[in-house]
Each structure stands twice: as C-alpha cells, then as structure tokens.
C-alpha cells in the first residue's frame, strides 16, 4: 500500500492508515497497540457530548490518554450545536488536537435521538454543528456514511457542505445506514466525495487485507484508509499494511493485557481481554473450546494463563 502523510489542519500524520473509532474497543491500550504496529492516527471510542457536559465518569474514562499518544483524535456525537461546541471546549478534550464528529453511527438508539447517521437527513443542522465546533479552536473532522438508504444518497453534497462549514478532513464509510456493517462498499460514492472537496478524504469499509486496502484507494482516489473491524480480529494488520514484520500473537496479547491493567481495574481488564482473546482466536483450531474456558476466567491472570496455553 502507498503510504503518505496526511495533513489535517495544523497536524500532519506519519501515514495514511487510521484506526477507526470503535465503541467498546478503541481505548488507550488498544490505540497504543495499533500505533505500535503502524497506525498513523487513532480515534477514541465514540463519546457523548452531553455526557461530557454533565460530567459522566464513564465518559472521562473513554478519553484516557497520555502525552506519548499525540496526536490522537477524540470522536464525539450529539445533535445540539451549542452542546457539541461545549464538548470540544471541555477540559477532558484538551489533550486531543483533533475532534471527529460522528455522523454515521447506525445504531437505532443513536439514530432515533437525531444523532449519528440521522444527521445525514438534516444537512443544515450538520453544518451548524461543524461550524460551531470549529469556533472551539479544535481541528474538526467528520465521519459519515453515504446516506440512510440507497434511495437517499447524499455523499457528494454532504462532503461539500461539511467542508464549507469548516471540516479539515472527512472519513466516508462507503455504506448506507440501513446496511449497518455488512454489504458491498460503494467505491463510487466515496470517489464522489473525494471529487467534491479539496480537504483530505479517508475511505472506510471492508478492508481486511493489503489487497483490499489497495483496491479501496485505487477505486476511490481517497487519501487514506481507515481500518475498523479488521483491527479487532488482528491488530497486526497494520504491520501488513506498513510492511513491518509481524510479532507473536502471544506477545501482542501479553502486552495489551499489561497495558490495559495499568489503566483499568481488574474487572474491566478481565472482561475486555476475554473479548479480545475471543476475537484473536477466530478461525483457529480448537477456538470453540478455548472460548468456553476463556469466558469462565475470573481474573486477568486466569485469562493470560489460558491464552498462553493456547498460543504456547
């Protein structure tokens, strides 16, 4: 894959491979892991603007970071321009030079609240959100889908309007809201977004290999690729994409568990690392029995012991 820096406002990334914001997964240890394998920019989990406004402790946990992670992008969601701007100005977002606005989440609860992908049906409101957030002084980016359904595609117009409102970069998930996370990626729609604007456009959707990343770039003309679910199953996909030598899966897991334990309590570490181990063993011989044992583990040490046995 062709690796190039991407300039986002005043920030220039080391390459054009980004780790997507993944609710429940892209915490600090996961981002740190993917960055060590070559990801040029990582995004936090999706954070509620209202949660920030009202001081939710859970929201603050989602934004844990350290100075060695700079630059990192925080992703927020909401539908009220003033609340979104206040979130950008919140002290919890001080470590993040880039704030990404989620305008693509397809989850019913988010959509019904007029947030996430619902904003694809209210472009004037989406514009106002971006223009208000830009006033915070943060570099504002937007992640969105091609539309809510095949008969309501808005990709090019939405891209143009977000650029006009002040966005510095766009990420286009090449599926409509009703497709959720499956189905063919609309290369032509991402290409339309790229042709409609002068700011960088990142393509997202369906990349699980170097070949698929190359195809996505070639068919869309995008400036980079965002990796989502593939990183859950195999964070070392970033090694493949950057030409870096892969390490051992066992060592990767040990590192991630150690880092997770530093940031979170024993209960969270146990539950989270059980989930990650289940992702990492998909397709392996004996995976079903391994998962059965894994989900009975009560401590991080038990999880690690089972994993070490599996990948000895």
Catalytic residue numbers read 105
Residue 7 structure tokens: 């300039």
Per the document, the length of the chain is 312
Q: Which residues of 113-143 are buried (b: 16+ CB within 10 A; e: fewer)?
A: eebbbbbbeebeebbbbbbbbbebebbbbbb
Helix axes 266-280, 249-263, angle to 10 degrees: 160
Q: Is 192 exposed, middle or buried (0-12, 13-18, 19+ CB in 10 A)?
A: buried
Please name every residue paired with 76 in a beta bridge, in sequence order, or none if there are none.
Answer: 47, 101
Instruction: Please state, in angstroms and rounded to a whole number, the distance separating the CA atoms of residues 293 and 303.
Output: 9
Helix (H, G, I), strand (E, B) or coil at 196: helix
Token digits for 12? 């220039």
Q: How many CB atoms sit inside 10 A of residue 57's CB?
A: 7
3-state secondary structure of 123: helix
Strand 11-12 and strand 7-8: the pairing is: antiparallel
- Residue 3's contacts (CB-CB under 8 Å, 6 or more residues apart) are 15, 16, 17, 241, 242
Closest CA to 235 of 25, 13, 14, 3: 25
């Amino acid at each position: 894959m062709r690796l190039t820096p991407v300039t986002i406002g005043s920030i220039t990334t080391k390459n054009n491979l980004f780790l997507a914001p993944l609710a429940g997964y892209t915490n600090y240890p996961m981002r740190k892991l993917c960055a060590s394998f070559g990801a040029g920019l990582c995004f936090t989990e999706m954070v509620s603007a209202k949660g920030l406004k009202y001081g939710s402790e859970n929201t603050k946990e989602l934004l844990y970071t350290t100075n060695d992670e700079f630059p990192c992008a925080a992703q927020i969601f909401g539908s009220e321009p003033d609340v979104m701007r206040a979130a950008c100005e919140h002290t919890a977002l001080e470590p993040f030079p880039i704030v990404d606005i989620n305008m693509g989440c397809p989850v019913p609860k988010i959509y019904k609240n007029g947030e996430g992908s619902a904003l694809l049906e209210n472009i004037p409101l989406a514009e106002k959100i971006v223009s208000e957030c830009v006033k915070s002084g943060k570099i504002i980016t937007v992640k969105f889908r091609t539309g809510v359904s095949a008969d309501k595609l808005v990709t090019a117009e939405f891209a143009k309007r977000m650029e006009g409102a002040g966005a510095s970069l766009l990420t286009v998930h090449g599926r409509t809201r009703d497709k959720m996370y499956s189905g063919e990626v609309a290369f032509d729609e991402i290409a339309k977004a790229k042709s409609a604007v002068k700011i960088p456009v990142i393509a997202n959707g369906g990349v699980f290999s170097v070949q698929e990343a190359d195809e996505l770039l070639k068919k869309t003309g995008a400036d980079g690729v965002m990796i989502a679910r593939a990183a859950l199953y195999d964070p070392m996909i970033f090694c493949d994409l950057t030409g870096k030598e892969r390490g051992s899966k066992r060592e990767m897991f040990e590192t991630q568990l150690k880092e997770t334990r530093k940031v979170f309590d024993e209960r969270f570490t146990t539950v989270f690392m059980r989930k990650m181990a289940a992702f990492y063993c998909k397709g392996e011989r004996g995976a079903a029995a391994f998962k059965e044992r894994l989900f009975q583990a009560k401590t991080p040490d038990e999880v690690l012991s089972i994993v070490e046995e599996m990948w000895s």
